[in-house]
């Protein structure tokens, strides 16, 4: 009977996967958002879950907490759609929601929603984000970013990020 059971599993294992699910757990020396520390310079731990459908839909969620304390700092969720235009070029668009909780390193809770669109190649990616409520109601912003990556060796990559935030109205007091 075990041989028949294994024979039943073989066709399932050989079938193409309908979607990809991934989970990542990481530790960072400082939780930063667009150049500003959100953890007060303290180390954080993050857990993320990703879902990619072969048709182009994707979704992700993550949570970040301080390593040395019980403070949960943030939740993020995003969903979007990606389409390969050629073997070298992919376009995507989506929506991102970020929630930052009141904690010992952050005085007050805050949140924002962004819609985004971008282009990606094997070594470069760029996106532009629009938020109608960046950390406060009515605070419209645009954020542009460019990222690059190169392989330094087997299982080693160097990644760089450059971004700029622009307020579409008057900028808030720092």
pLDDT per residue as tens, the chain (174 positions): 344 444 444 444 445 557 899 999 999 898 888 878 888 888 889 999 999 999 999 999 999 998 887 678 899 999 999 999 999 999 999 999 999 888 655 567 889 999 999 999 999 999 999 999 998 888 999 999 999 999 999 989 899 999 999 999 877 765
How far apart, in whole angstroms, are the C-alpha atoms of residue 79 and residue 58?
A: 6
Nearest to 67 by CA among 36, 98, 40: 40
How far apart, in whole angstroms, are the C-alpha atoms of residue 10 and residue 101?
A: 47
How far apart, in whole angstroms, are the C-alpha atoms of residue 129 and residue 93?
A: 10
Cβ atoms of 110 and 135 within 8 Å: the answer is: yes
Strands lying side by side in the sheet with 89-100: 20-28, 44-52, 57-66, 72-86, 89-100, 110-120, 124-131, 141-153, 156-167
Whole-model pTM: value is 0.80
């Amino acid at each position: 009977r075990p041989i028949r059971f294994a024979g039943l599993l073989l066709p399932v294992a050989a079938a193409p996967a309908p979607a990809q699910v991934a989970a990542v757990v990481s530790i960072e020396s400082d939780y930063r958002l667009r150049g500003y520390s959100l953890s007060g310079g303290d180390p954080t731990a993050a857990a993320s879950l990703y879902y990619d459908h072969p048709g182009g839909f994707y979704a992700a969620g993550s949570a970040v907490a301080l390593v040395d304390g019980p403070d949960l700092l943030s939740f993020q969720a995003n969903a979007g759609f990606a389409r390969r235009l050629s073997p070298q070029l992919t376009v995507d668009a989506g929506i991102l929601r970020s929630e930052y909780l009141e904690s010992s390193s952050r005085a007050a809770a805050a949140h924002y929603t962004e819609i985004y669109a971008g282009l990606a190649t094997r070594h470069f990616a760029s996106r532009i984000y629009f938020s109608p409520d960046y950390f406060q109601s009515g605070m419209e912003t645009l954020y542009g970013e460019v990222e690059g990556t190169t392989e330094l060796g087997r299982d080693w990559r160097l990644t760089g990020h450059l971004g700029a935030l622009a307020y579409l109205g008057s900028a808030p007091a720092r």
